[in-house]
Chains A and B, each alone.
Chain A
Amino acid sequence: DQQVKQNSPSLSVQEGRISILNCDYTNSMFDYFLWYKKYPAEGPTFLISISSIKDKNEDGRFTVFLNKSAKHLSLHIVPSQPGDSAVYFCAPISSGSARQLTFGSGTQLTVLP
């Protein structure tokens, strides 16, 4: 039962262009959504988050959009840089006491110079 789906295992984008990474979820109890970036041989690092009461959050080159009715969120990176090449995970948090992250399977982003 996959509650969080990242349907694109990989994405290649030219440097300077926009990267759009998508995430779909099924659990209506998710009330906060995080994006993590992961380089090989390292642990995931936090990138950006959005609360379920918002539809957009922006931080520098990174913007996350949330469409609650469609249970869909996306991460936009613009302009993309070669250093952005990594695996990106969508990781919602469920309302309730535990607050653990539920990870998608990830999307490998490659930014070509």
Chain B
Amino acid sequence: DSGVTQTPKHLITATGQRVTLRCSPRSGDLSVYWYQQSLDQGLQFLIQYYNGEERAKGNILERFSAQQFPDLHSELNLSSLELGDSALYFCASSVGGQGEEGGYTFGSGTRLTVV
């Protein structure tokens, strides 16, 4: 158990639908990062939050949004889902907003399947 909790572990939904993925960071970590891993691809950085504020954006589609709540958990919202959105979505956390080398802890991911 890495200390980063992601729910649900698996999600199957239809095209056009909207889903919410949840991440609880490791205790004491203020920063949350979201990554997407499509089939046979590396992990693509989506977005980072630090202590409730958006810190950095990567290749995140406009149909996707995220937020970090006062208790530091984060949610990734995916809407108007397409088949190509099927992927593993990982959340990682770190203590500081700058990120400590080696200090990124990943959750076990949410596998999203869009049918």
- Count of chain B residues with a beta carbon within 8 Å of a chain A beta carbon: 28
Once the chains are docked, how many angstroms separate the CA of A42 from the CA of B42? 14
Cross-chain pairs A/B with CB under 8 angstroms, 16 sampled: A4-B42, A6-B42, A42-B108, A46-B103, A46-B105, A49-B102, A89-B42, A93-B99, A97-B55, A97-B56, A98-B56, A99-B97, A101-B33, A101-B35, A103-B43, A105-B42
Q: Which residues of B contact A105 (CB under 8 A)?
A: 40-42
Given the interface pairs A43-B90, A45-B2, A98-B48, the reply to whether A34 lies near B102 with Cβ below 8 Å is: yes
Q: Which residues of B contact A99 (CB under 8 A)?
A: 97-99
Does A51 reach chain B (CB closer than 8 Å)? Answer: yes
Given contacts A97-B55, A100-B48, A102-B45, 5 further A-B pairs with CB under 8 A are A34-B104, A49-B102, A98-B55, A101-B43, A103-B44
Are B106 and A44 in touch, CB under 8 angstroms?
yes
Type the 1/0 row for A9-35, where 1 means its CB is closer than 8 Å to any CB of B. Answer: 000000000000000000000001010
Chain A residues within 8 Å of B, Cβ to Cβ: 4, 6, 32, 34, 36, 41-46, 48-49, 51, 89, 91, 93, 97-106
Pick from B56, B102, B103: contact of A100, CB under 8 Å: B56
Once the chains are docked, how many angstroms separate the CA of A67 from the CA of B101? 19
Once the chains are docked, how many angstroms separate the CA of A91 from the CA of B70? 29
CB-nearest residue of chain A relative to B40? Answer: A105
Q: Which residues of B contact A44 (CB under 8 A)?
A: 43, 90, 106
Are B42 and A104 in touch, CB under 8 angstroms?
yes
Does B25 reach chain A (CB closer than 8 Å)? Answer: no
CB within 8 Å of A: which B42-76 residues: 42-45, 48, 55-56, 58
